Amino acid sequence: MSEVSGSGLSGPGPSGLSDEVASWFARRTWQPVPWSPAELLALKGSTTVSVVLPALNEEETVAGVVSAVRAAGDLVDEVVVMDGGCTDRTVLRALEAGARVVALDEVLPGLPPLPGKGEVLWRSLAATKGDVIVFVDADLVEVGPEVVTGLLGPLLTEPDVQLVKGFYRRPLRLANTEQRSGGGRVTELMARPLLARFAPRLSGVVQPLGGEYAARRDLLTRLPFAGGYGVEIALLMDTLRIAGLDAIAQVDLGVRKHRNRDLADLGVMASEILAVVLDRAGVDEAVTPVDLVQFQEGTPGGWHPVVRRVERTGRGPVRR
């Protein structure tokens, strides 16, 4: 458990955090993971656990992630890879590794799928049965069963916890090199400043955009799901709204390595996150698409504008 402490009152504390956030950080942050699979299995009882891997063309990594999840043994009752429209060998690799693969159009077949990661996660609630859902991105490398153990720990030991976020050091993986940190560029340049302005009670969350998290099904079925890359920060803000800060916890999962996207793709991601946060904050609830203008350098002719449309889609709570 972190050593940061606070009284739970408003106002800045010695760490620079508000007393409420500092107190939350002390009580709801575990670093490193203190539980063994055997300890959690003894606490699991009749609780069922589904692990969901949203995947879109992850043939090089999906089998390794499935194997890491399955290494958690009886803590996991089912491993489901949600096929977001793969055109490579992701599905074959996932099946070979022992996962069940579900295509989007197999779930809620009367409802045409929307684009985006949030849609994949939303439909996964109808494709799984677990009391607890663990989400793990399928593009991770060098991952182990601690991703499951860590995320399940607070949910099995703290009855009031409903959502657990993983956090980690994120190296920046370039073509031929790897920098120790710097992989969380959108987090630092977009998500964290937005939370500081519009949801400062969440300022103690280390990785608000992280794709590794777990939650109780009862909570997830009550939450709307943003359609794109804003889904994670939206779930965080909506959990705060309906369940309170103490329902959220976070666990240090060590190092998270995955492919890093180029700046143009990160610009689209940042735009989706901006739209979601402004919507949740009540500042801009319009669903009008935004045309994001970016520029590419080419020859002949120099720089050329490239317009990428950013849609704000999403689904209401599954319970409805």
Structural domains in the chain, sorted by start: 31-260 (3.90.550.10)
Q: Report the DSSP beta bridge partners of residue 303.
A: 297
pLDDT-derived band at 112 (thresholds 50, 70, 90) equals very high
Does the pLDDT at position 70 exceed 50? yes
pLDDT of residue 261: 66
Residue 292 CB neighbours (<10 A): 16
pLDDT of residue 176: 54
pLDDT of residue 181: 42
Q: Model's pTM, two decimal places?
A: 0.89
CB 66 within 8 A of CB 143: no
- pLDDT per residue as tens digits for the range 222-265: 999 998 889 999 999 999 999 999 999 999 998 876 566 678 88
Does the pLDDT at position 40 exceed 70? yes
CB under 8 Å, gap of 24 or more: what pairs does 302-308 form?
306/264, 308/264, 308/267, 308/268
Task: Label residues 80-117 b or e (16+ Cβ within 10 Å = b).
Answer: bbbbbebeeebbebbeebebebbbbeebbeeeebbebb
Interval 200-206 mean pLDDT: 97
CB 295 within 8 A of CB 306: yes
pLDDT of residue 297: 83
Residue 73, φ and ψ in degrees, nearest 5: 70, -135
Residue 292, φ and ψ in degrees, nearest 5: -85, 120
Reply yes or no: is the peptide bond before residue 159 cis, omega within 30 of 0. Answer: no
- As a whole number, the mean pLDDT across the chain is 89
Q: Strand 29-30 vs strand 248-255: parallel, antiparallel, or unpaired?
A: parallel
- pLDDT per residue as tens digits for the range 167-182: 988 665 545 544 444 4
The distance between the two most distant Cα atoms of the chain, rounded to a whole number of Å, is 66
Does the pLDDT at position 217 exceed 50? yes
